[in-house]
């Protein structure tokens, strides 16, 4: 018997943006689905627009699991997580330990396939995944601002600057083509 998916299914109970007033709460399951969809699109943009060679399906699945460790360690708010190097390094170590615990819950025959979904990588696909994570946060900020919550005004500016500073043509393309849609009402989208 394995508790792996029992824990994964609890992603819906881990709320994001805990230090900020939210008009619409977002949990890590919702966030991870959006990251997966955006990561897939960034990989497709890489392949079709910029003649790259990223496995879009694989990157999308990595997006689904990118915050899975938070079912064990919780979602530490960004200002706390990056308050100083000691906290940042300690939290990263906690995440690695949580990922190892999750992997060890799987039957041994499945572990290697899941190991590829966890952990920090330094490849170009990992940069696209990080950009997808930032774009998902940008979308959350736009949605909160659109619902009249000015609490997210500074976060939007900061995250938009982060997306621009990552200097990924795929992220720039995504924002240019799809970015404005996130502030539109349902009537405007139809």
Q: Where are the domains of the chain?
A: 4-189
pLDDT of residue 42: 98
**Which CATH fold topology does 4-189 show?**
Hypothetical protein af1432 (1.10.3210)
Task: Give 171's Cβ-side CA count (13 Å radius).
Answer: 25
Please, which residues bridge with residue 15 across strands? Answer: 27
- Residue 60 reports pLDDT greater than 80: yes
Average pLDDT over residues 20-41: 97
Tokens of 137: 């946060």
pTM of the predicted structure, to 2 decimals: 0.93
Average pLDDT over residues 95-101: 94
Encode pLDDT of 122-173 as tens digits.
799 999 999 999 999 999 999 999 999 999 999 999 999 999 999 999 999 9
């Amino acid at each position: 018997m394995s508790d792996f998916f029992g824990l994964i299914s609890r992603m819906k109970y881990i709320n994001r943006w805990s230090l900020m007033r939210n008009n619409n709460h977002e949990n890590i399951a919702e966030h991870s689905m959006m990251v997966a969809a955006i990561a897939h699109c960034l990989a497709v943009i890489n392949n079709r627009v910029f003649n790259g060679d990223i496995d879009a399906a694989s990157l999308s699945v990595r997006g689904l699991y990118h915050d899975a460790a938070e079912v064990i360690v919780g979602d530490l708010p960004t200002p706390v997580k990056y308050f100083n190097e000691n906290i940042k390094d300690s939290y990263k170590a906690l995440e690695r330990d949580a990922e190892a615990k999750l992997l060890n819950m799987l039957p041994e025959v499945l572990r290697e396939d899941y190991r590829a979904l966890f952990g920090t990588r330094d490849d170009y696909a990992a940069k696209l995944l990080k950009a997808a994570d930032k774009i998902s946060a940008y979308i959350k900020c736009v949605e909160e601002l659109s619902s009249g919550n000015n609490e997210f005004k500074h976060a939007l500016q900061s995250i938009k600057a982060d997306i621009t500073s990552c200097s990924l043509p795929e992220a720039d393309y995504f924002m240019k083509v799809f970015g404005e849609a996130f502030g539109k009402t349902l009537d405007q989208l139809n």
